[in-house]
Amino acid sequence: MMNKYIIVIVLCISAILLSILYVNVAKVFNLYDNPSGRSSHSNKTITGMGIIFPALITIYSIFFPYQIEPYFFIGIMMMATISYIDDLVHVKNSIRFVFQIFALLLMVISISQNFEIQLPVMLTLVVFGIGVINAFNFMDGINGMLGLNSLVILFSLSYINYFGVNEYGVSVKFVDHYLIYTCIIGVIAFLFFNFRKKAIGFAGDVGSIIIAMLIFYMICKLLLVSGNFTYLLLFSVFGIDTGLTVIYKLLLKENIFVPHRDFLFKKLVHVAKFKHLEVTAGYAALQLFVNFVVIFQPYQYKLSSQLSVLFIVIISLIATYIVLRSILTKNRVKINFIEKNNKP
C-alpha cells in the first residue's frame, strides 16, 4: 500500500486542483447562486463548490477501500447526486426528503453491522439525522460559517479519535484517522474560496449536506464506542440556533422550507449589522469553547457528570439565544418604525 503521507499529499493536491477546476468550470457554465430578497449575500456567487467533498471521499475510498462501509458510501454518493441537481435546478422538498431518509437508513445499516442497534434507535437516528443535515444546510448562507464550524468539529473529532479513552482506559477510536483528514482537507480547500468578505463560492446543498452526513456518521459511531452523551454537544452551538428557530417558525405557523432570515446568526448580520466573518468567527469560537469543555471535563465517564454538562451547556445556549433574539427583535421593530416615519 502507498505510504500514508503520500496519500495525504495526493488528497491535498486533489482538493486544490478540484477547487480551482470547479471555479473555472462554474464561470464557463454560469453556475451561480443569484441573491434574492431573503439572501444573506448581495452578489451572485458560484454554487455547488461542495462537490469536492464527495469527490475527495471517492479518492479516499480508492486508497482505503475497506475503511468506509459500502452502504454508507452509496448513501453519500446518492445524496451528493440529488443535492447537486438541487443546486442547479430546484428539486421538490418531498423528493429531497425521500433521498435523505434512504441515505440515512443506509448509514444506520452500515453502522449496525458493527454495533447492535435496536429498530427504535435506528429510526431515531434517521429522524435526528434529517435535522442535522438540514441544519448544516442552513449554514451556507453566511460566508465561512459552514466551513469554519465544520473545521472546529472535525478537529475535535480528530483529537478524540487519537487520544480519547473510555472509563477503562481503552481507546475510543471510532473511524479511520484518514477519513477525518480527508474531510479536513476538503473543508480547508473550500474555506479558501468562501472565508472572505465577498465569497467566491458557496458549498451549495451538495457540500453542506455531505459534510453534515460525514460528521453525523462519525459522531454516531463515537457515541456508540464511547457511551459518552456529552459528545452530542460537539455541534450544539449552531444546533441550538437552528432547532429553536425552527420551533419559533412552527409556532407562528410559517413555512420552514421557505428561505428566511430568522436564524439568530442571520439577525446578527442583518439587524445588528455584524460582518459575516465576525459572526462566523464568534460561532466557531463559542463551539470551540464548548468542545474544549466536553473533551477535557473531569469525571466525564460518570453518567451524572455527563448529564450535568449536557444540561448546563444546553440551558446556557438556550438562554443566550433567547436574550440575543429578544434584543435583536426589539432593534428590528425600532428600525422598522424609524424607516416608516422617515418616508417622504
175 pLDDT higher than 80: yes
**pLDDT score recorded for residue 330:** 79
Q: Among 3-12, 32-41, 323-332, which range has the highest average pLDDT?
A: 3-12
User: What's the predicted TM-score (pTM) here?
Assistant: 0.92
Domain that holds residue 328: 4-341
**pLDDT score recorded for residue 342:** 58
99 pLDDT higher than 70: yes
The single residue listed with the C-alpha cell 454518493 is: 77
Q: What is the mean pLDDT of residues 312-335?
A: 85
**pLDDT score recorded for residue 129:** 94
| Dihedral-angle region of residue 218 (phi above 0 means left; psi in -120 to 50 means alpha; beta otherwise) | alpha
How many Cβ atoms sit within 10 Å of the Cβ of residue 335?
A: 13
Count Cα atoms within 13 angstroms, Cβ side, for 83: 30
115 pLDDT higher than 90: no
The single residue listed with the C-alpha cell 419559533 is: 248
What lies within 8 Å, CB to CB, of 46 at 6+ separation is 22, 23, 26, 27, 31, 32, 33, 193, 200, 201, 202
**pLDDT score recorded for residue 235:** 93
For residue 24, give the H/E element and its range.
helix 4-29
Number of structural domains (the chain) is 1
**pLDDT score recorded for residue 139:** 82
Ranges 9-13, 36-40, 80-84: which has the least confidence: 36-40
Q: Tens of pLDDT along 208-260? A: 999 999 999 999 999 999 989 899 999 999 899 988 988 888 887 777 766 66
**pLDDT score recorded for residue 337:** 42
What lies within 8 Å, CB to CB, of 209 at 6+ separation is 50, 79, 80, 83, 100, 133, 136, 137
What lies within 8 Å, CB to CB, of 135 at 6+ separation is 212, 238, 239, 242, 243
40 pLDDT higher than 90: no
